[in-house]
Amino acid sequence: MSKQMRRYEYTFLHTAATLLLLSWVSLMPVAQADALQTFIIKESHQAQAITAEGSVEAVQQSAIAPQVSGSIAILTVKAGDYVKAGQLLARIDTRIANQQVISNQAQVAAANAQLSAARQEYERKRRLHEKQYISQAALERAESDYKTAEAQTKAQLAQTNAANVQTGLHTINAPYAGLVAEVMVELGDMAMPGKPLLVIYDSKALRVVVNVPQSQLAQIKQNAGIQVSIPAAIESERSLTGTQVTILPTADAVSNMVKVRITLPENLTSLRPGMFARAMLPTENAGAQGQLSVPASAVVKRSELTAVYVVNSKGLPQLRQVRLGRKQGHNIEVLAGLQAGEKIALDPIAAVNFK
């Protein structure tokens, strides 16, 4: 009889322990759901924008090339140097050009001498013709010789002036103040007309060029402040506001993209042409409708499925498919699948492990 009582007692204790364990297990997911980091969907009426990526470029940039050929005798700058307007950059050997100038000057002197003799002969024959000592034909020949000598003298003077100008072209000066971006030659190299020697740009005036789909051009507000992000710049210049927007009048036939130029504030010290940049272009229909967005980290992408974990009224995360729009910073626009006031899990890994 005591063994039977002990058996009943053991069975009772085992049943109570089992019920207690089941009660704890049933409560455990709720506790985990309460600890799960969540995000409440809210309707936003902030200005919508198109996110476009591009690069920094100089408003004024020039490839400096000579107009004459010759050996580079002087090279005064290197990449990274700041130059002033009119500063000497390079000089091409002028010895041949100088000899040509000397030769032209000698020819001008000879032409002047011939012109003086022709003028005197013409004046003498004109006086003789007035006294009817010579014929009209002789006077005309003297006049013709005088005019020919005069024309030849003008031609020699023009050639001399051209030689002087060409000699000046052997000196390469900076067209404006700026930074030397690249030097393509070395001292002693042969310079050729049209072949760039170096590249300079105005570091005080920069802009960002981004590519925008042509289907979205009509939505862009050209008179609105555009936020530009440049991650490689110093902290104070990473986030800037564009001062002017210019949409170029041509589109790329392959990519269907149009270039949009955004002028940046002047005197930026850490920006360089070629740096990556991201621009937020405000649209004309900004704020017309409420917008739902979720953090990008909360989105789950599995093959063709795009979803988020929605926490239901019992605190349990459930996978739900959504349709997303444009990415804006760290958030992504939600076009369908969610409603304002719903709660989603911020960490999909923690949500999927909740079982």
Q: Which pLDDT tens digit goes with each residue over 331-351?
A: 888 888 888 888 888 888 887
Within the chain, all domains assigned CATH 2.40.30.170 are found at 50-59+205-282
Topology given in CATH for the domain delimited by 95-168: Helix Hairpins (1.10.287)
Q: Which pLDDT tens digit goes with each residue over 118-149?
A: 899 888 888 888 888 888 888 889 889 889 98
Q: What is the pLDDT of residue 94?
A: 85
Express as a percent the part of the chain with pLDDT over 70: 85
In Å, what is the CA distance from 278 to each residue of 53, 207, 233?
A: 4, 12, 12
Architecture of domain 30-45+288-355: Beta Barrel (2.40)
- What's the whole-number average pLDDT of the chain? 82
Measured between alpha carbons, how far is 221 from 244 in angstroms, rounded to an integer? 11
For the purposes of burial, counting CB atoms within 10 Å of the CB of 330, is it exposed (0-12), middle (13-18) or buried (19 or more)?
exposed
48: confidence class by pLDDT, cuts 50, 70, 90:
low
What single letter denotes the amino acid at residue 341?
Answer: G
Q: What is the pLDDT of residue 3?
A: 52
Out of 2.40.30.170, 3.10.20.600, 1.10.240.10, 2.70.98.10, which CATH number does the structure's domain 50-59+205-282 have? 2.40.30.170
Within the chain, all domains assigned CATH 1.10.287 are found at 95-168
Q: Which pLDDT tens digit goes with each residue over 250-270?
A: 999 888 899 999 999 998 989
Task: Let me know: does 181 contact 79? Beta carbons within 8 Å.
Answer: yes
Within the chain, all domains assigned CATH 2.40.50.100 are found at 63-93+170-201
Topology given in CATH for the domain delimited by 63-93+170-201: OB fold (Dihydrolipoamide Acetyltransferase, E2P) (2.40.50)
Burial 266-303 (b: 16+ CB within 10 A, else e): eebeebbbebebbbbbbbeebeeeebbbbeeebbbeee
pLDDT average, residue stretch 295-302: 84
